Structure 1
């Protein structure tokens, strides 16, 4: 009796028939099977979806198998089995990979980590499917975080936007008017291109106009911020040139190259943190790079003053020619050390987003 209970249908959430449907058949049928499995997923279901996503599944006409090297296992029981001779690799196209990514995101809606749940809701917004609506509703009912709830509400609205019911599409379009996201705007434009209901079409157009209005202000603020950022750099460079000439009577044509030295000192600090310090410390490389870049530029400037410029005080034209030559030397030195291509300086995690 115990053996019969263990082998009875429903003992595991994923069945052999479900696993075969997820692995074989037309793309749309496979996506439907994946979405149905996600609604009542257990650990075996999650493992099988991960295996599909990692191209670690083979299938015959009768069953699907999870591969670990050359060893095949049953996706339902996890037991090792013999792989049939007619089993072939399961191939996933881009459409199926997108569905698998969305399914994996849906499985993370009940994660204990708030950031993981928020990322899962954002992923579902980008790939809406009405069959996942019960899963989103369950996550909404259990969610306590206001920020994650807002994302789940948007995910629900984008899901309803693809509904066959015009009333649900109208409700979704009205809800999405409050969004300020280019991704939401893209989904609305896609729906508008084949929407045939006049009321829904008008609501979608109103939502797009509202989003455009919000994004326009964001673009204006971005332009202002970029202008202030670039202007501050040019202002610092101009002040440096003016102060040097005012105090020393020197026209320093290598001024930009001294700024370059500071920039490459920042890059070197990034490399040091990446190679010799734990990954958790990488975010603090910029804090260390600020004093190091100032000191590196000051040191090179002091060497130039002691070695060349102090012999040319009172002769502005000769300082101009000498520092121009020094700038060429510094440029070529950097090219020889780091190459002619630009090097990347990454944002630390606390400055990203």
Structure 2
């Protein structure tokens, strides 16, 4: 039996070899006969021995039935094919927009298609040509699935493609993506790119990536040089890679260098964390200043405690929302137009409130407080009836989206940065109005000595209406700014009315400079206290501080001046 099995083994091995030899012999005879007739072109032996590479279309057809590991191999083959459609195919697979289409709906574009967003009837794109390929129903499509490992592979391959982008920012982002998954192939790609890279920042990122790979080297000198090169980097990848070396590297020199590098990174992180806290404190302070400025004007001139001030901010925020509904294709223009629109709408509401309610209650602060509080509830219910009680979202323009990154440990968001600048611009314009215009002169005269101003011919009742309208208009502008930070809802103003009164009292009633300084100070102090006390306790501590401060200085940081200031 063993001899028979051995004979079968020989037959299986020898028969194909004999057939191959016969084929070569017959081919040699044919070649000799043809050579006598005409010289044949010689074929290089390497080309004749290399199997044909699958085409781009063949790779696409193999995707639906391939396993996840096989799909990863197919992705690499797609990259190697050099087809210009490869990036679109990888992006579609990453975003779950790559589908297999059934036989009944299949057209000339093949079995794999790219779809757009939506449901029901979906528009199709031919992945080989990136041209429209008709449409198909959802039930005719089967999504080509991915898992976390495959998505990670696709992101790395897309980053490799982006290394050839003409935009340095795109190349830098590609290098940063590759740093998240360093392996031999990634390091090879980075080394090749380093030879031709012209942008200094991109080249620095590549050097960081190569140094990170050198940390895994068995050579002590290589690891030590890599640690020294990375000691000034603040990225999380560098920090996470240096920590194990500082704790358990076999060489003491490498271990000590890694320890110093980690300590240096931690000290810089603390510094930039403090800067971030300061920035967020200033941004919160800017919101408080915007919210309190209008209140400081009305409270300082007329002594009216306007509990509907928060609802005037809400009206400004809803004005920005309506402007976006009217101009859905022009978000940036709608934002710029919503600023004067909110000022006018909220200002008209303010004039109506002063002429219809407040002017009958001068000298009766308790009745004024109750009347404006009841008005705030009416305005909230009016908004609920018109826009529903649900929160509305105001889209942020493109120029306010994203963040400005100074390094890997410190970045500031554009929307908060623009709000700080916007607050300073509004404050400067108000100062010009109050210092350089006739209205400003009359407002200051009435706020300092109402009786003397009336004796000089100033119509104090119209100054009151104009001042109330001005403060209300500024509240409307504050609502536009708030709409870029949070959702717009009927209760938007309630979250800021108490803080606004705190800012006005702390800074000094009727003093704009006091409002600016106190608003910024309270915002920064709030953010400094939040990390260790919590958001609620931080507000409580600030309130306790204000109570103690007012006990010592009842008129605030910058008290109002004038003969009637005591009244």
1:1-353 matches, within 5 Å, as 9=51, 27=69, 33=73, 37=77, 40=80, 42-43=82-83, 46=86, 49=90, 53=94, 54=96, 56=98, 67-68=112-113, 91-161=145-215, 168-189=222-243, 196-198=249-251, 199-273=253-327, 275=328, 277=329, 281-351=330-400, 352-353=402-403
Task: Mark the CA change 1:188 to 1:289 in structure 2 (over 3 Å): closer, same or farther.
Answer: farther
> What's the CA shift string for 1:102-145, capped at 9, x where partnerless?
11111110012333222212211222223212211222222222
How far 1:265 moved relative to its partner?
2.4
> What's the CA shift string for 1:55-114, capped at 9, x where partnerless?
7488xxxxxx97238x9x999xxxxxxxxxxxx986532022111111111111001233
Task: Mark the CA change 1:296 to 1:74 in structure 2 (over 3 Å): closer, same or farther.
Answer: closer
RMSD of aligned residue pairs (Cα, Å):
4.3
Task: Mark the CA change 1:103 to 1:334 in structure 2 (over 3 Å): closer, same or farther.
Answer: same
CA distance in 1, matches of 2:181, 2:65: 20
How far 1:321 moved relative to its partner?
0.8
| Larger Rg, first or second structure (1 or 2) | 2
* Stretch of structure 1 that moved more, 247-256 or 191-200: 191-200
Runs of 5+ unmatched residues, structure 2: 1-40, 101-109, 115-123, 129-141, 404-567
SS in 2 for 1:68: strand
* Stretch of structure 1 that moved more, 287-296 or 213-222: 287-296
* Stretch of structure 1 that moved more, 191-200 or 203-212: 191-200
TM-score normalised by length of structure 1: 0.72
SS in 1 for 2:231: helix
CA distance in 2, matches of 1:39, 1:164: 32
TM-score normalised by length of structure 2: 0.48
CA distance in 2, matches of 1:36, 1:165: 31
> What's the CA shift string for 1:3-39, capped at 9, x where partnerless?
x98996476798989x979985684x875x4796588
Runs of 5+ unmatched residues, structure 1: 59-64, 76-87
Kindly indicate whether the alpha-carbon contact (under 8 Å) linking 1:38 and 1:45 is maintained by their aligned counterparts in 2. Answer: no
How far 1:164 moved relative to its partner?
6.4
Kindly indicate whether the alpha-carbon contact (under 8 Å) linking 2:63 and 2:144 is maintained by their aligned counterparts in 1. Answer: no
CA distance in 1, matches of 2:389, 2:219: 59
* Stretch of structure 1 that moved more, 40-49 or 203-212: 40-49
CA distance in 2, matches of 1:93, 1:11: 27
Aligned residues: 323
CA distance in 1, matches of 2:77, 2:248: 30
* Stretch of structure 1 that moved more, 253-262 or 155-164: 155-164
* Stretch of structure 1 that moved more, 195-204 or 322-331: 195-204
Task: Mark the CA change 1:318 to 1:45 in structure 2 (over 3 Å): closer, same or farther.
Answer: closer
